């Protein structure tokens, strides 16, 4: 019984850590690079496009998609790990 | 074949497809009606969510907003996509695990209170009706522009189609229709973009054309655009014209609001399991991203094309401006719709298009003999007239009409479903008459969907002032009322019913009050707004569009404080929270 509660807590703890990590990246790219630091990043220009402007119009959206798939993939692994542990009763 | 006949054929064909799907996927139980029997493949649900999410505003207006606002238009690009990260990480998997039918139902169970459920229904109805009125308006406008029928007729046809598949098929019918609608709208949106990208830069992929050299020049697209428009006194395309704080608040409010919109959340109730809900959010954003990554490319290319059409030579040169009599065909077409208007202020027979609100440019313009900007352009033209500006074949123009209708109808159907289920499931079955049978509830769901369509049609025909404020209202209120209680309900066990109700009401009343104060919507009938909608009057310079973020912070603060002062939630609620946190 104790080990089950323990493993449930570990699962939730790891999930929360992953969520916080992903949200930091999400915040940094969308509201950080594209809004707060946009003016600063705009001094770097590649192929006619200032970098802050590019992140705001293209880079942020690409990052969002990658974050969700990364989270879904890591959680699937975590789900499997805890499912196996439960079955073998450890 | 005449363009009009072709448009009728293409739009008519898509309608036949939607109705065929409706008949094939008739809902037989409440489970199928509310959540499509929870058997939708995550990729299919991703596609349906993308159509559900992308409204008439995304399809018709967004690229135009970006074309004229440049960098500042990014708030919509990020705001309407970034919320899916919050959905995937903070809400969708847990609400799927909870496994019932509606958003207010979760709030009612988690906060063990019918009052909380009713407050949530009120928030939901307010948000959804604001949103749906805009969609019906969009259907009417597309019909009147492309098929040359009165707005009212267009509305009735649109209502009829939605009625058939939403009332018959429920969520199941809506899901499969939305998949078809996604295909129509994404095809219609990207085909003209590909042609224009090729004509302008020699590169087929719009996102690559965005960073390519313009044919016949040595300049990259964005460089060239900046040069051309700055010469005419317009602000720099790639720099912000708003305060950073306001830009921050609007983007954040749109993202959080997106995550709190009930018609998006319920789409994740339809997949088979928790893991599918997470992946499905990724697929949804992937499909949305195809349009959202194309829109900025269309925006910049269309702005450059338009400016070049009018400013044919050197700025200030007597021969530099388009001779009005020699205007291109599409110019005439769109003049007749009133979306493009020309007034020859200096009587030289030529079109001057420049920024006459820029004081630094005034002296130069006077020296040229210009007496004010002569061309007024509706931003919607950037998408609607795109195929004509690029001289594309008639079938592409017909496709734009079908795409616009698909975008509006798919969103309207999703909204109708959450409206009808909140009435039949949350109010009727949940509060008023818990003893009704499943078939009675299903019937009630169909009736409320039908009534909701009627109301939506009326709101579209006689748009009240608040319809124009969808961005401020729907997103601001979703961010300030529903999102915080959903998130707190999952991630804390300590927030109790008193806290949640007080929090929701605080967020709702504060945000509504702030918007009302500057926009004067409902009370406008009695007079004017209380204060002018200008940055000097706003609190900390935050516009009504961005105030939802402050409402959300107030909501959370009040919920935490009130919960600390009152009794903690009962044992079984804490068990429920524990249960939804774990997939097995």
pLDDT in tens, B533-558: 676 677 777 787 888 899 999 999 99
Whether the per-residue pLDDT at B562 is higher than 90: the answer is: yes
B484, B110 in Cβ contact below 8 A? no
- pLDDT band of residue B294 (cuts 50, 70, 90) is very high
The DSSP call for residue B369 is: T
Q: What number of C-beta contacts closer than 8 Å exist between A and B?
A: 133
Rg (CA), chain A: 19
| CATH code of domain B3-227+237-303+389-465 | 1.20.1730.10
A34 vs B78, B88, B292: nearest CB: B78
Of residues B186, B185, B176, B187, the one with CA closest to residue B20: B176
Which of B214, B252, B282, B574 to mutate to probe the A interface, most A CBs <10 Å? B282
Search chain B and give the residue with CA nearest A77.
Answer: B275
**With an 8 Å Cβ cutoff, are A30 and B212 in contact?**
no
Domain boundaries, chain A: 10-87
Residues B51-67: pLDDT tens digits?
999 988 888 888 888 99
Angstrom distance (rounded) from CA B107 to CA B116:
7
Q: Which residues of B touch A35 (CB under 8 A)?
A: 244, 247-248, 251
Q: What is the largest CA-CA distance in chain B?
A: 81
Average pLDDT on A23-51 reads: 88
- pLDDT band of residue A54 (cuts 50, 70, 90) is very high
Q: Which residues of B touch A46 (CB under 8 A)?
A: 211
Whether the per-residue pLDDT at B224 is higher than 90: the answer is: no
Give the count of alpha carbons within 13 A of B206, CB side only.
23
Of residues B473, B483, B553, the one with CA closest to residue B514: B473
Domain boundaries, chain B: 3-227+237-303+389-465, 310-383
Residue B491: predicted pLDDT: 92
Beta partners for B213?
B220
The DSSP call for residue B106 is: H
Hey, which residues 18-77 in chain A have their CB within 8 Å of chain B?
Answer: 19, 22-23, 26, 30-31, 34-36, 38-39, 42, 46-50, 53, 56-58, 60-62, 64-65, 67-69, 71-72, 75-76
H/E stretch holding A50 reads: strand A49-50
Q: How far is CA B447 from the centre of its chain?
A: 26
Nearest-Cα distance to chain A for B269, in Å, is 16
Residue B465: predicted pLDDT: 62
List alpha helices for B311-344, DSSP H: 329-337
The dihedral over CA atoms of B559, B560, B564, B569, expressed in degrees to the nearest 10, equals 70
Whether the per-residue pLDDT at B180 is higher than 80: the answer is: yes
Angstrom distance (rounded) from CA B414 to CA B269:
13
Of residues B319, B75, B296, the one with CA closest to residue B193: B296
| B388 vs B418, higher pLDDT | B418
Report helix, strand or coil for B100.
Answer: coil
Report helix, strand or coil for B148.
Answer: coil
- The ipTM assigned to this model is 0.91
The DSSP call for residue B466 is: G
The DSSP call for residue B54 is: -
Average pLDDT on B10-24 reads: 88
């Amino acid at each position: 019984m104790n080990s089950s509660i323990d493993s449930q807590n570990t699962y939730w703890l790891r999930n929360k850590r992953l969520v916080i990590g992903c949200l930091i990246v999400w915040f940094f790219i969308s509201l950080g690079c594209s809004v707060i630091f946009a003016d600063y990043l705009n001094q770097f220009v590649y192929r006619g496009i200032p970098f802050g402007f590019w992140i705001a119009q293209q880079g942020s959206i690409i990052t969002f998609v990658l974050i969700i798939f990364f989270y879904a993939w890591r959680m699937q692994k975590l789900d499997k790990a805890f499912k196996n542990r439960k079955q073998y009763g450890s | 074949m005449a363009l009009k006949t072709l448009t009728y054929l293409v739009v008519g064909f898509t309608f036949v497809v939607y109705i065929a799907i409706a008949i094939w996927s008739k809902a037989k139980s409440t489970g199928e009606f509310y959540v499509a029997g929870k058997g939708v493949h995550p990729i299919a649900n991703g596609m349906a969510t993308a159509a559900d999410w992308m409204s008439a505003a995304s399809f018709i207006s967004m690229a135009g907003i970006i074309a004229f606002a440049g960098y500042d238009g990014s708030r919509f690009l990020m705001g309407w996509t970034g919320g899916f990260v919050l959905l995937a990480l903070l809400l969708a998997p847990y609400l799927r695990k909870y496994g019932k039918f509606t958003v207010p139902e979760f709030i009612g169970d988690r906060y063990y209170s019918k009052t909380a459920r009713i407050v949530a229904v009120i928030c939901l109805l307010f948000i959804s009706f604001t949103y749906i009125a805009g969609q019906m308006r969009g259907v009417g406008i597309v019909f009147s522009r492309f098929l040359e029928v009165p707005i009212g007729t267009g509305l009735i046809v649109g209502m009829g189609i939605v009625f058939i598949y939403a009332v018959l098929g429920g969520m199941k019918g809506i899901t499969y229709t939305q998949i078809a609608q996604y295909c129509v709208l994404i095809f219609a949106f990207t085909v003209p973009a590909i042609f224009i990208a090729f004509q302008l830069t020699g590169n087929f992929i719009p996102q690559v054309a965005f960073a390519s050299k313009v044919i016949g020049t040595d300049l990259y697209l964005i460089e060239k655009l900046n040069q051309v428009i700055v010469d005419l006194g317009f602000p720099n395309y790639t720099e912000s014209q708003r305060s950073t704080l306001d830009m921050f608040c609007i983007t954040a409010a749109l993202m959080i609001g997106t995550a709190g919109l009930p018609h998006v959340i319920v789409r994740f109730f339809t997949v088979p399991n928790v893991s599918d809900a997470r992946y499905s959010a990724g697929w949804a954003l992937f499909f949305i991203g195809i349009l959202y990554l194309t829109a900025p490319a269309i925006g910049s290319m269309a702005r450059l094309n338009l400016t070049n059409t009018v400013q044919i030579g050197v700025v200030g040169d007597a021969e530099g401006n388009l001779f009005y009599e020699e205007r291109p065909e599409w110019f005439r077409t769109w003049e007749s719709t009133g979306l493009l208007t020309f007034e020859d202020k200096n009587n030289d027979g030529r079109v001057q298009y420049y920024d006459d609100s820029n004081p630094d440019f005034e002296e130069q313009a006077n020296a040229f003999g210009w007496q004010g900007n002569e061309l007024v352009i509706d931003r919607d033209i950037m998408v609607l007239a795109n195929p004509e500006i690029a001289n594309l074949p008639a079938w592409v123009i017909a496709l734009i009409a079908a795409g616009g209708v698909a975008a509006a109808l798919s969103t309207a159907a999703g909204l109708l479903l959450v409206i009808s289920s909140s009435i039949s499931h949350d109010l009727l079955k949940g509060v008023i008459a818990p003893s009704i049978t499943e078939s009675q509830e299903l019937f009630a769901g169909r009736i409320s969907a039908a009534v909701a369509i009627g109301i939506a049609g009326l709101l579209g025909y006689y748009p009240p002032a608040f319809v124009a404020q969808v961005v401020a209202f729907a997103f601001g209120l979703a961010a300030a009322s529903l999102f915080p209680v959903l998130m707190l309900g999952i991630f804390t066990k300590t927030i109790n019913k008193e806290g949640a109700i007080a929090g929701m009401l605080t967020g709702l009343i504060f945000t509504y009050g702030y918007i009302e104060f500057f926009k004067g919507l409902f009370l406008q009938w009695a007079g004017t707004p209380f204060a002018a909608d200008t940055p000097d009057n706003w609190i900390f310079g935050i516009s009504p569009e961005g105030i939802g973020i402050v409402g959300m912070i107030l909501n959370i603060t009040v919920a935490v404080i009130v919960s600390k002062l009152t009794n903690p939630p009962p044992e079984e609620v804490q068990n429920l929270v524990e249960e939804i946190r774990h997939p097995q």
